[in-house]
Each structure stands twice: as C-alpha cells, then as structure tokens.
Structure 1
Amino acid sequence: MSHPSARTGSARADVVTRVVTVPNIISFVRLLGVPLFLYLFLVQRADVAAMVVLAVGGTTDWVDGFVARRMHQVSRLGELLDPLADRLYILATLVAFTAREVMPWQFTVALLSREVLLGGCLLVLRRFGYGPPQVHYVGKTATFVLLAAFPVLLLSAVLGFGPAATAAAAIGWGLAWWGLVLYWLAGVLYGWQTAVLVRSAGARTERA
C-alpha cells in the first residue's frame, strides 16, 4: 500500500508535467489572438475588430493564472506560456501601432529597450546555469496596465476627433506611461535579481 504523501507527490508531479490543461488551452487561444490582431489591424484595416481582439487578449491576462490556481493545474508549460503570450501581445501591438502611427516610435523604443535588458539578464543567467527569474508582481502589474492601455489608445484612434476621442487618448496615454514606468522598474528588479544570483554563483565557485 502506497503512502498518502507519495500519492500526493505523484499527483503534484503529474500536474506540473501535464501539457493539455484548461489554463494551457486558454494561453494557446491567447497566443492565436496575436497573429489575428496583426492581420485585422495591418492587412484588413478592420480597426474595430482588431480592437476587440486586442482588448480580449490583453485583459484576459489574469484568467489563465487564476484558472490554473483554482483548478490546481499549475504547470511548467503554463508558467512559460503566460509571459510569452503577454510579451508577444506587447511586441505585436508596439510594431503595429508604430507602423500605423498610433504610437510614436520613441515610446516603442523605450519599451523595447527594457526587453533588451531582460534578454541580456536571461543570457547571463543561462550562462551561470540558472533559469528565468521569478516573475515579480511589479512586472505583472506593468504588463496588465500596458495591455489595458493599448485597446484604449486604439479606441481613441478609431474615434478620431471629439471629446470621446480626447478622453480615450488621455486615459490610454495615462495608462501607457504608468505601465512604462512600472515596466522599467520591474526590469531594474530583474537586473538586481540577476546580479545577486551571479554573485552567489561566483562565491560558490571560489569556495569550491
């Protein structure tokens, strides 16, 4: 007869390694929304439909994580898919908005520069045998704010002129700048985490 703790550990391992789970399916659907948004916005110029896809894909950022925790289906794949979907939405939106002049290129460069910083941290961590740093709540908040800002900015572009367009632009840019500041703050925190881990690895090497 197997020990209860052994069965629990086995079940937990099964959850971690499973691929087909409800939250993972949600994340895959969110990923499919990225090329759909680009097609609608850049090819079809169906701005309203693109705005709906962007709003649904962006504001459901929390759904997959919530479902994973609620259904006890947290998996390693899900932990990778969730931030991947977020970054692809941000990258796709930045490229599309800059191409259509909804967003100035300077703002795009400011956001992408932070991604370059994070990419450098990941390369350094991999060199020392570490995986990606733990996602910080500041980074999650920044991502949520940015993904909320983008459809509002697109709404202001769709409306064109008038009080409603002005209000949408004010709200959208307020969220966008707030998100940018938080995004860079999260980047600094990831850089600090990287430095701590590298210093720890160096200290272990010297002791060895």
Structure 2
Amino acid sequence: MSRRPARAEQPPDTGDQGPGNRVLTLPNLISFGRLLGVPLFLYLFLVARSDVAAVVVLAIGGTTDWVDGWIARRLRQVSRLGELLDPLADRLYILATLVAFTAREVVPWQFTAALLARELLLLASLAVLRRHGYGPPPVHYMGKTATFLLLAAFPVLLLATAATGVATAASAIGWALAWWGLVLYWVAGGMYVVQAARLVRAVRGPRAVA
C-alpha cells in the first residue's frame, strides 16, 4: 500500500528558532504600516495629484521592505503572521503602483502586462500546490531582490515626472532598475514554478508505482 509523502520537512524542535505565533511585534507593525501606505499612495497619486508626497510614500514603502525582515531576524521576532504579511505588502505595493502608473501613463501598459502575467503564473502554481495540500513556497532571495529593485524603481520613475530638473537622470536610473527588476521577477517566478513541480511530482510518484 502506497504511503503519501509528508507535505513539508519539519525542522527539529529548537525552542525559539522557528517562526512564532506572536502578532504585536515591531516587524509586524512595520508591515501593517506598509499595507496602510498602499491606499495612501493611491489617494495622493490619483486623487490629490500630490506627486512629491506620493514619491515619499513609495520610497518609505520600498525601504521598509528590507527593514522589517532585518529587524525580525535581529530581534528574533520572526512570526508566521510576518511571513504572510511581508510578501502580501510587497505584492500590493507593486500591483497598486502599476495600476496607478499605467492610469497616468508613467509606465507603458506592456510593462504592466508583463508583471501581471508573472503574478497570474504564480497564482496558478499556488492553486496547484494547495490542491495537493501544500502551502506557498518560502520566499527566495531572487524574488526579494527583484521586489527590491521594482520598489526602488517606482519612486525614481515618479520623480522623473514630478521634478523636471532631474527628469533625464531619474528616468534613466528608474528604467534601469525597473527592467532589471522585471527580468529577475520572472526568473524568481520560474524558480517557484520549478519548486512547485517538484513537490507535485513527489506526491504523484508513489501513486504511479503503487
């Protein structure tokens, strides 16, 4: 009789080394603040048309993308909630910024479509994993690097439209960061898909020989 493989390798019980269940931690508060920054940015950029303030909000959101994780590791406050909040805040920032930038023609729709297509690919992979009993794969350093580049690119691109004196330099720097971020975003997406395929094969393999 075939035996279904374990869903994920469980690390040995080391007391406080694994992610905890705490909610009110400094890293989680920073992540909550980043989430609140998403509607604030949309209001400033699309309603109030206060581009300078919107640049500041984007810059703070991009900076805290690494700060919350660093603090969590430094203070040993890694939590399961934080592991969910951090990538959620990243994606919401990226998606909200893309929609707003496309609406005001800061970026072309083709760039937005390329990033959204990657998100759809990941959603399909997650759906397959959930059907086989797996949760989301752990965040990879390639994905974090791509996210950092994109979150760094967006305020620079916005600065290029808001400050005419530095428009040429800001546009060049912003698009360099944006295109590298897009490429690495897709590379990271491919790595997640490969990881998901391996997990699914691990489940189907024993069934095939049963």
> Structure 1 length as normaliser, TM-score?
0.91
**Matched residues in 1 for 2:64 and 2:30: separation?**
9
Residue in 1 that maps onto 2:68: 64
Equivalent residue in structure 1 for 2:20, among 6, 16, 19: 16
- 1:134: Cα distance to partner? 1.4
- 1:12: Cα distance to partner? 5.3
% identical equivalent positions: 73
For residues 103-122 of structure 1, what are the structure 2 equivalents within 5 Å? 103-122=107-126
Unmatched tracts of structure 1, length 5 or more? 1-5
For residues 5-154 of structure 1, what are the structure 2 equivalents within 5 Å? 9=15, 11=16, 16-154=20-158
C-alpha RMSD of matched pairs (Å): 1.6
Letter in 2 for 1:185: V
> Structure 2 length as normaliser, TM-score?
0.91
Unmatched tracts of structure 2, length 5 or more? 1-12
Letter in 2 for 1:193: Q
Q: Deviations over 1:40-77 (max 9, x none)?
A: 00000000001100111112210110010001010010
Greater relative contact order (Cα < 8 A, sep 6+): 2
Residue in 2 that maps onto 1:184: 186
Letter in 2 for 1:198: V
Moved over 4 A (4+): none
**Matched residues in 2 for 1:155 and 1:59: separation?**
16
Residue in 2 that maps onto 1:3: none
**Matched residues in 1 for 2:63 and 2:107: separation?**
20
**Matched residues in 2 for 1:123 and 1:30: separation?**
26
Letter in 2 for 1:145: L
**Matched residues in 2 for 1:204 and 1:75: separation?**
34
Matched residue pairs, number?
199
Letter in 2 for 1:26: I
- 1:91: Cα distance to partner? 0.3
Residue in 2 that maps onto 1:194: 196
**Matched residues in 1 for 2:194 and 2:130: separation?**
16
**Inter-CA distance 138–12: structure 2 relative to 1 (3 Å threshold):** closer
Would the aligned equivalents of 2:30 and 2:64 in 1 still touch at CA under 8 Å? no
Would the aligned equivalents of 2:28 and 2:68 in 1 still touch at CA under 8 Å? yes
